[in-house]
Structures are given as structure tokens and as C-alpha cells.
Amino acid sequence: MSVMAGILAWFWNERFWLPHNVTWADLKNTDEATFPQAEDLYLACPLAFCIFMIRLVFERFIARPCAMGLKIQANGPQKAQPNAILEKVFTAITKHPDEKRLEGLSKQLDWDVRTIQRWFRQRRNQEKPSTLARFCESMWRFTFYLYIFTYGVRFLKKTPWLWNTKECWYNYPYQPLTVDIHYYYILELSFYLSLLFSQFTDIRRKDFLIMFLHHVATISLIIFSYVNNMARVGTLVMCLHDAADVLIEAAKMANYAKCQILCNLLFAMFAILFISSRLGVYPVWILNTTLFESWEIVGPYPSWWVFNLLLILLQLLHSFWSYLIVKTACRAISKGKVSKDDRSDIESSSDEDDSPPPAQKHHSSATNGTNKNHGTNVDSHFGNTNVLHSNCI
């Protein structure tokens, strides 16, 4: 117990978390004022589970019927032809066989290498969720983002720090916690905890590690700003990030419903809002107040540096995602519509066709002649753009 007490005392060291001459005792709740307490955040864990369960119910009884009404099919990618030998290699050895293994399987099965490559590609795609599942996931995120963004705007427009960011630091850290701020924080933290856990069960994307880092940074920022009572600036960051996510999820739903014109329009709106808010408003409005105005009014202290480093990390992620958006927009302009995303969940190849593997080996020249038609990319840009999930504080 003494060891644990020592660890907790070290972790909650006042000289790290709080400004000079401020102690935790100064921020205890009284009859006159309520301040953020670290234990308040424990509520987010069971609430995250509840949000996950609500999501399952929402997708099953609301999103799915909507998808059916839009004639979105539950069919997934084409299934690979059953083959015991290849299935054993796929499940027990590797899902991405190298050239040497492909040659060995080619001799063993008397199939050409390209056909075996296509089998493995189809088998990998077979594990991906259907367009219906993707639509349901996006509709759930769209609904939450729309609700939380609307709540944030209605709450913040009545606060003085929306109009003058220096109000985030006047009388800091002795700023009382209001019911609106507490609700806003707990709900956002719970949602991001649910996203962090469900990332391992949701559609697997190529930027899995980047999004994992994003969620961890988001959760860390929420916790840091709440414990430090930087909640005022925290609400500004959360609301700013929620705005673009509403549009991207709407664009993804339009894409799944094959409403290409609406999809392109929503993507254009999203791109403009994302880049202007993340590369313009965020550094000029948010980073300016957390780095310079707070330095002038409050002064730096250890956790202040950590908080700002996390915000700068977030800015780097914004820059990376903005690059992907511009790249996609340039491709859309050149091709006339939003096309394949570099991080598509469904693999395709110019070598690939949808015909089942033949029973006998073909000569490479014949294969080249019959496999010229390009594989169809089942998932366009919005089918998996996690850029679009970049809510954070």
C-alpha cells in the first residue's frame, strides 16, 4: 500500500499539474464553487460501454432500415473459391505470401501465380465488412457528431471565452465547473474511449496506427485539460473539431448510397471546412491562446508544456490529413469524381478480374490477355476515410 501511495503521490505532484503556489486543496469542491476533480472522469468508462451498446442498437434498428430503404445491399466482396491448401496457408501461415511461396503453391496446385495472387486478394477482401455495415457505422458517427456539435455551439455561444479567448485564463485555475462543461467533457471522453476500444472491431484501415495515436492523443488532451481545469479552452477545441466530422460522415453515407453528386458536394464542403479550421482557425485561435495568451496571463508550468505539446502533435496530424484531402481532391478534379482512396479497405489490382480461379495452369501470355480488365474498387474515398474521424480536443 505504501508503494502504491508513493506512486500516486508522485503522479499527482502539484508542482507538475498546477501553476506555482496552487495546491489540490485550493481546488476542492465547496458550497460556493465546484471544480473539476480527477475522479469525475471515472464515470466515462461505464458510459463508454453504454455508448457502444447504444451504437449496436442504433445500427441494428435505425441505420440498417435506412440503408435498406436506400437499397444498399448487404453483399460484401466476392468470395474466393474454396481451396483447402490455400485456406490452410492463409489461416495458419500468411495472408500475404511472398514470391517464393507463390511459386511453390503454383507448382503444387498447377495454377499460375497470378491466379493464386488473385485468390489471396479475394480471400483478404472476404473478411472486410459489407457496404451496409460501413453505412451503418458512418450513420452512427454522423448522428453523434451532429448532436455533440449542436450541443457545443448552443452552449458556447453563451460563454464569454468564445468571443474573447483571454477569458480562458482570467482567474485561472479558480474557474468553477458548470454542469454544461461537465456534461460536454464526460460525453466526449466516453465517445472517444468507445472509439478506441471499437477500433479493434470496426473496419480495419491502413491508417490504423495513426488513428490509434489520434484517439490516445485526444483522450490524453481531454483528461489533461479537465484535471488542470483548462476546460474552457478544451470546449473550444472540441467544438472546432466536431464541425468537419459531421460533413465527412454525411459524404460517406452519400457515397455508399451511390449519390455521387451529393457525395462530391459534401466532400468539397468538408475539404474547405477541414483545411480552413485545422490549418487556419486552430493555430491562429487555439494555439495562439494556449501558447501565448496563457503564457502572458498565467505563465508556464510542467503540465502546461505537456498540454501544448499534445496540441502541437494534433496540428501535425491535421497537416498530414490535409495533405491526403488535397491529394484526393486533385485526383477527383482530374478524373471528374472522387476516386479510389490510397487507404482503401478493399484491395484491387489492374491484374485482377472477378472470374473464379481456373482448375488448370495457364501460360503467362494467356493470363495477360484475359486479365486486362481492371478490378473494381468496392470502396471509394469515403468508404474508409478516417481523416474524417478526426474529432479531438
Mean pLDDT, the chain, whole residue set: 84
pLDDT value at residue 299: 94
pLDDT value at residue 257: 94
Mean pLDDT of the 309-321 span: 90
CA pair distance 143, 252, nearest whole angstrom? 13
CA pair distance 244, 250, nearest whole angstrom? 10
pLDDT value at residue 75: 67
Write out pLDDT tens, residues 375-385: 333 343 443 34
Is the per-residue pLDDT at 26 higher than 90?
yes
Write out pLDDT tens, residues 177-209: 999 999 999 999 999 999 998 888 776 666 678
Mean pLDDT of the 266-273 span: 95
Angle at 354 between CA 351 and CA 357, to 5 degrees: 85
CA pair distance 34, 353, nearest whole angstrom? 64
N- to C-terminal Cα distance for the chain?
A: 35
Is the per-residue pLDDT at 259 higher than 80?
yes
Write out pLDDT tens, residues 140-152: 999 999 999 999 9
- Label residue 91 by pLDDT band (50, 70, 90): confident
Is the per-residue pLDDT at 328 higher than 90?
no
Mean pLDDT of the 311-321 span: 90
Mean pLDDT of the 300-322 span: 91
Mean pLDDT of the 227-247 span: 95
pLDDT value at residue 340: 44
User: DSSP character for 78?
Assistant: P
pLDDT value at residue 76: 63
What's the pTM value of the predicted model, to 2 decimals? 0.79
